[in-house]
Chains A and B, each alone.
Chain A
Amino acid sequence: MNFIGNYATWIEQEWIDEILSNDGWTVPRDLSKDPQVQLNEDERKWFSSGYKMSDHFFSAFYKDDCSFEITPPWSPQSWDWWIVKMMPGQFIPVHGDLAMATRKNAKSYWMPWQDWKDGHIFMYEDQTVINYKKGDVYEYDASIKHCAINIGSVPRIVLQVRSYE
């Protein structure tokens, strides 16, 4: 995880309020609504390990789910973005973003929209990322195994950005 900088002042409170008050996509349950979605090898392994496609791991918000537009201030390239909301008890099982390995000069960024809270866990390789601040931006290799869980007492909101050449 490579710290890029802090952009807390760029985050609008109304964005946070909108995410907290809406449902977004229920992942993985709603994936069946999109015929374009293809599970990668790690994701298929979730469901052979006992996770259920009908579960609600977390809520995802894409461009079409939000009234605001995201233009990451740290990246001059083309990008995709989505926001992950995890309520207490929600998680994303261990995985690597395997498609990243085939994208030319793809970069992945992780930006929490809150200061770190007890029980908010992002595990990258073999370590958890803690004591971060709202708006911190980390670049990371998304093809390396990672996972996240909220076993705290308040919702956890993270912006994910992928940039490409």
Chain B
Amino acid sequence: MSFINYSSREINCKIVYYGPGLCGKTTNLQYIYNKTNPEAKGKMISLATETERTLFFDFLPLSLGEIRGFKTRFHLYTVPGQVFYDASRKLILKGVDGVVYCGDSQMERMEANIESLDNLSSNLQEQGYDLNKLPYVVQYNKRDLPNAMPLAELEEALNPMKVPHYEAVAPKGIGVFDTLKAVAKLVLTELRKGG
């Protein structure tokens, strides 16, 4: 749910990175953080365990510039991917404007990918959202690994709605900004429809 402030002329939107544990959601945000000008970003917050697994969420506020005299601010969140943190994932989806589903390209993570996608869909439904109507893109991460599945197979299993998809190697930044731009554009386009 975007928050529009006519007084300070700001648009605030919330984007959530969703996906199975260790798929690279936090790495996406870290790359964006490292490559963004200091004036365009706030502090990146990671609520993580001692072993650097996301416990509650990562948070990165980004300013993308002005559109029709309104400052556009995107708040990027990740969810904890591990199955048993489902209650936390539900909380983070509240008020979401756009979703990035981050899949792990490795063959042995296919079951976890499908489970996470089903979980995304049902958790959104619980909050009154429909994944079919929400600004939504898919990222296939870890494309550089030798056990990465062919893109066509990933698409068939994880992208039945054929939303925009991006191949990524998050630590190197490949596909990271393409994914962010795509979801941000969809969110702003949705805002235009709503306006």
A pairs with B: no
